[in-house]
Amino acid sequence: MSTVHHDVTQLPPPRVEEVSDGVFAYIQPDGGWWINNTGFLVGERGVISVDACSTVRRTRAYLEAISTVTPQPVRTLINTHHHGDHTFGNHLFGGATIVGHEATRANILEWGGPKLTAPFWTEVDWGDIVPEPPFLTYTDSVTVWSDDLRAEVRHVGVAAHTTNDSIVWLPERKVLFSGDLLFNGGTPFLMQGSVAGAIQVLEEVVEPLGATTVVPGHGDVAGPGLIDDVLGYLRFVQATAKAGRDAGLSPLQAAREVDLGPYADLLDSERIVGNLHRAYAELEGGPLGRRIDAAAALTDMVAYNGGRPLSCLA
């Protein structure tokens, strides 16, 4: 099965986009495996960062990009969830208060530093990563302020992309930092979360906000139409899982037989396999976000990818 990847020589450099006055998105192409977006709010007394990056090199480049906008230090770092592409660089924000959900802290401590490369992903130069979890935690929400600009950090309530997703919502500006609840141009990934939960969160939490500007966890800044695009993919995963399970197919077999249709050109299309592993588990019942055999799902994703490790250009 052919999957969609880019080559490192094709990647344009990261860029800073001002999405509202004093509010910036940091976009890292191509938005594939372990290449995330971050963002920052600039105030008179300091900077609030939304997420870190995956490697030492990428996080240092991000901090350098902030310094070209303002001489103010990063005083607050918000983690939208525990995944390493958003948190491995936490330790490079010296002096910043790291804020995250209680489960984000617990998952970072459990996961530790980078260890999931070969045979699942191509090798990455992570740098000297020191796991650094949030030390200011919340259960439901917390508000941070950039001067007089309110930024609401809200746990979404149920498993979605992970079991500990939060959004950062700027109500006065209608700007949403969605974390990995939303991907733009890349295949959404729910293996450690919940397909049904992600649909619920997008419909009941994210869409009603009325955001006009969305900074997704991966891919270009978008408008609210991105929410419907991702919902369409998630429903496609659910339908594929039901049809495959009814036909007695494994998640890998179902992935190989299905026509991805409008989703065929999304980056990292092998994620359909991990998503089907999650959707199959949900058809069996049990709590949303319950643990599944991640190694088995990743092994099937590599098989779908022609037996080659998944392409990571971080």
**Series of mean pLDDT values for 10-residue runs along the chain (314 residues):** 60 97 98 98 97 98 98 98 98 97 97 79 94 98 98 98 98 98 98 98 98 98 98 98 98 98 98 98 96 96 96 94
Strand-by-strand arrangement of the 175-183 sheet: 141-146, 149-155, 166-170, 175-183, 213-218
Specify the pLDDT at position 62.
99
- C-alpha to C-alpha distance for 242 and 234, rounded to whole angstroms: 13
Specify the pLDDT at position 248.
98
Phi, psi of 140 (to 5 degrees): -115, -55
- C-alpha to C-alpha distance for 269 and 279, rounded to whole angstroms: 16
Which residues are bridge partners to 169 per DSSP?
152, 176
Specify the pLDDT at position 115.
72
pTM of the predicted protein model: 0.96
Which of 135, 154, 219 lies closest to 184, judged by CA? 219
Element (H, E) at 240: helix 225-246
- C-alpha to C-alpha distance for 121 and 311, rounded to whole angstroms: 6
Which of 205, 209, 185, 215 lies closest to 41, judged by CA? 215
The string over 239-278, giving b where at least 16 C-beta atoms fall within 10 Å of a residue's C-beta and e elsewhere, is ebbeebbeeebebbebbbebebeebeebbbbbbbbbbbbb
- C-alpha to C-alpha distance for 49 and 76, rounded to whole angstroms: 6
Helix (H/G/I), strand (E/B), else coil: 135 = coil
- C-alpha to C-alpha distance for 109 and 126, rounded to whole angstroms: 18
Residues 8-224, CATH architecture: 4-Layer Sandwich (3.60)
Specify the pLDDT at position 122.
92
Domain ranges of the chain: 8-224
Phi, psi of 303 (to 5 degrees): -60, -45
Q: How far is CA 21 from CA 28, 46, 76, in A?
A: 21, 15, 19
Long-range Cβ pairs for the range 250-257 (8 Å, 24+): 250/300, 251/276, 251/277, 251/279, 251/280, 251/297, 251/300, 252/276, 252/300, 252/303, 252/304, 255/1, 255/300, 255/304, 256/1, 256/304
Specify the pLDDT at position 8.
57
- C-alpha to C-alpha distance for 310 and 187, rounded to whole angstroms: 13
Specify the pLDDT at position 17.
98
CA atoms within 13 A of residue 48's CA, in its CB half-sphere: 24
Characterize the bridge pairing of strands 175-183 and 15-20: unpaired
Specify the pLDDT at position 152.
98
Residue 215 CA from chain centroid, whole number: 11
Tokens for 1, please give them.
Answer: 């099965």
